[in-house]
Structure 1
């Protein structure tokens, strides 16, 4: 509706412009003929000679009519057709552009919806796969832990039996037992126990060498994870005996060492050398590693 109204108004404006141009042209021709007429009677202004006016008016009407017919029947319709074609092409192009824009928007919306669906499906698949893998790993871990616990329990039972048997064979009147927990080089955590299991000396950090037990009159039995490294040290000392592969009270000693360490009874042992003895037996507060 708007396009048709615009086209009609355009045609009217074009016709009005053409009529105004034609009228102006006729007036100019009339003025020129008047000047020519006056020039015939007066040398200076021939166009004002009134004797030539009838012929000028006649030819003016003829020329005006011919020009009007040419403009009205040939020029103006062609211009109107060109303008109408141009407007129709513009309207068609605008319609196609709007349609293409709508199609592009629809395709983009469909693409985004499909992409969001694919993302959700991938996330759900990953979540399910992770849950299944976690469940399988948990089941496998529980089975392995159960088997390991069974084996560890059996090994501990055998170790306790062997340890008890070995200690029973060593329970001779007058023996002193020294469970040792390994530290560094010649350092150990050591504790003194008599034949009846009574603690004579609480656990302490010591530097062990070949002269450590030289004033001890009783037999000395060394055992535990810190004892085996002293076999070469005491191999020629008769009253010192090392029992390998026997670890009685090792766990208990480890707990006692940790308790004393937490109570700041021992210094941080990370920097023994070169004054390792001083640092090893120091009682100033340690730093937990």
Structure 2
């Protein structure tokens, strides 16, 4: 819920480990992961080489209106926090769709959390709190969408008479993958008669953190239907095998093996 730090959680379970890996000593890093999208499936390819991992910005928006009786408060006199929140949700979705259709196919924006108070069917909502998740491989695009959040909130203060606070709580920059490691992965795929797809990752990965200190790359294995964080998530064992074979060849080249003429 964002209120407990990792350090505190480890202390509560009695964890006292002191081991530490210094990623600064590593010459490079590769990660194999399922795609979590359907780009590879649509292209009929078992593996893909990641070009960049998306950046993410998150904010929590609290909208304060005024509770009133759902039966006696006239429509003209209401300050409905949930109705105002609905306008914000649709504004974010609309702008993200507009950008994705013409300027950046990789951009996405989601309102995945919404709480309403007092939460009774016969009471006009006095409060609404929602969380916005904005992602893209381009920082400027992320900023444009965040500006949409702020501009819409400014408008709601005027048009609906609500109080609005915006807390930008999380920022992580997009992380491009090392060009030379992308080339290594492509050579490894070609060695097993595959032509890999180049694609970005819309999900965050451990590689984002490691890439801060050493050259990093990622290889994706095809996901069925693009499902992720769902019981429907599935990757065929044959695709896992092929991806592991490509990873093995890439690691061998990185270790100095002379594999190709």
What is the TM-score normalised by the length of structure 2? 0.20
Indicate the structure with greater strand content: 2
Indicate the structure with greater helix content: 1
Greater C-alpha radius of gyration: 1
Q: Which structure ranks higher in relative contact order (CA pairs < 8 Å, sequence separation ≥ 6)?
A: 2
